[in-house]
Amino acid sequence: MGPRLALWNQKAAFTFTTPGTTDRNEATVMSLLKWALIFLLISIVAALFGFTGISAATADIARILFYIFVVIFLVLLILGLVVFRGA
């Protein structure tokens, strides 16, 4: 048999990792949220200084990244609930 999957990771409740390995999915998801917040901040600052074109563009980028983050979170949440219910 191959290595067993750890059902509970202390860093993130809904990620599945092989014991003894680093988790790259968590870093990807958190970087999406981090970049969404950075673009939101850039959008707010640009709007304060009157750069409406840049503000609208960065707000759209932030919105898209946030929606991608939400989709990944929901997929991992559903997978986590299905695995825990099946165990």
Does residue 60 surpass a pLDDT of 90?
yes
Whether the full predicted model's pTM is greater than 0.75, yes or no, is no
Tokens at 50, concatenated: 């009157």
Query: Tens digit of pLDDT for each residue in 2-47?
Result: 444 444 444 444 444 444 545 566 566 668 889 999 999 999 999 9
Per-residue pLDDT at 84:
81
Query: Over the stretch 76-86, which tens digit does the pLDDT of each residue have?
Result: 999 999 988 87
